[in-house]
Amino acid sequence: MRIFVAGASGQLARALKARAGAAGHVAETFGRPALDLASSADPAPAIAGFAADIVINAAAYTAVDKAEAEPEQAFAVNRDGAARLAAAVRRLGLPLLHVSTDYVFDGGKGAPYVEADATAPLGVYGRSKREGEAAVLAAHPDALVFRTGWVYGADGRNFVRTMVELAAERDRLDIVADRFGNPTHAADLADGLLAIARQAAEHRGGGIFHLAGSEEASWHDLAGGVMGSLAAAGRRVPELSPISGDAYVAAAARPRDSRLDCSLAAQTFGVRLPGWRASAGVAVSAILEQQETTR
């Protein structure tokens, strides 16, 4: 299977390329200038030139706080660019997997969200992704949209990498303990999407699904797991101090509890992602290995 991955620099795009090769597929990532979702250029020639069998949109504007000051850029990529890509994929007669976010919810439910729950994003980023979901399905009704959350890995900027780096510098870390979600290893998410991609051509009808790590956590829980992995590797471990998310000042509000119920994807595609307790350790080991090779 030849997989066209929209996005090149993000951690999911990188994971998709690496994991596709391991699964016997050919995947290539496309970012600027070859593919710029913020522009009005038609993506179809790039997709056709690659002779793709399927397209996975892993490209997004993900600067949550910065989006508050530049909403036009967020919507240009996450809504308008995503819709343009979806329309091109439909014209070419190809399946499309589109990645969205748990930030389409406000976090007030108090239980894991199912796909049918009402969306109520708190900021520009979440609104742009919510409108992107609708725009993608309008342009390509058979598209499969997958909401995920708390993505981390060895590449890019993410919570786990930040914890590893700060652990080497500080004696104490204040970590939010009252915000909850599903930490999702980028490699696990890539594997799940690739497994679904193999079924996409036969799947009839598009829709929205949740696809995230199978274990819940607070940020403090996840940080504790990272510290456990660091301790096992013989690294120094700072003290973790739990704090309220209300003490964390940011330009954009975050959902307090964005846990996702992923049972529909499991029932439909037979795919359930691993939990963070094992996968975070894999990511920590990869980050430490990277640090060793760059010294």
Catalytic position from the list 61, 125, 152, 248: 125
Secondary structure of the chain as H, E, C letters: CEEEEEECCCHHHHHHHHHHHHCCCEEEEECCCCCCCCCCCCCHHHHHHHCCCEEEECCCCCCCCHHHCCHHHHHHHHHHHHHHHHHHHHHCCCCEEEEEEHHHCCCCCCCCECCCCCCCCCCHHHHHHHHHHHHHHHHCCCCEEEEECCEECCCCCCHHHHHHHHHCCCCEEEEECCCEECCEEHHHHHHHHHHHHHHHCCCCCCEEEECCECCCEEHHHHHHHHHHHHHHCCCCCCEEEEECHHHCCCCCCCCCECCECCHHHHHHHCCCECCHHHHHHHHHHHHHHHHHHCC
Tell me what pLDDT residue 213 has. 98
Q: How far apart are CA 151 and CA 155, in angstroms?
A: 11
Tell me what pLDDT residue 1 has. 92
Tell me what pLDDT residue 138 has. 98
Tell me what pLDDT residue 23 has. 85
**pLDDT tens readout for residues 182-227:** 999 999 999 999 999 999 888 888 999 999 999 999 999 999 999 9
Relative orientation angle of helices 186-200 and 276-293, to the nearest 10 degrees = 110
67 near 125, Cβ under 8 Å?
Answer: yes
Tell me how far apart the terminal alpha carbons of the chain are, to the nearest angstrom: 38
Tokens of 80: 């308008």
Unique residue bearing structure tokens 């990645």: 99
Unique residue bearing structure tokens 């999702």: 184
Q: Would residue 61 show up in a list of annotated catalytic residues for this protein? A: no
Delineate the domains of the chain, giving CATH numbers in brackets.
Answer: 2-151+185-214+254-274 (3.40.50.720)
Tell me what pLDDT residue 278 has. 93
Nearest by Cα to 4 from 54, 63, 77, 78: 54
What predicted TM-score, i.e. pTM, was given to this entire model? 0.96
Q: How far apart are CA 172 and CA 178, in angstroms?
A: 18
Tokens of 161: 């990498």
Please list the ranges in the chain whose pLDDT falls under 50: none
Q: Which residues of 206-225 are buried (b: 16+ CB within 10 A; e: fewer)?
A: bebbbbbbbbbbbbbbbbbb
CA angle, 153 as apex, 152 and 154 as ends, to 5°?
Answer: 145
Backbone dihedral angles phi then psi of residue 49, each to the nearest 5 degrees: -65, -30
**Bridge partner list, 147:** 100, 210
Unique residue bearing structure tokens 């989006």: 67
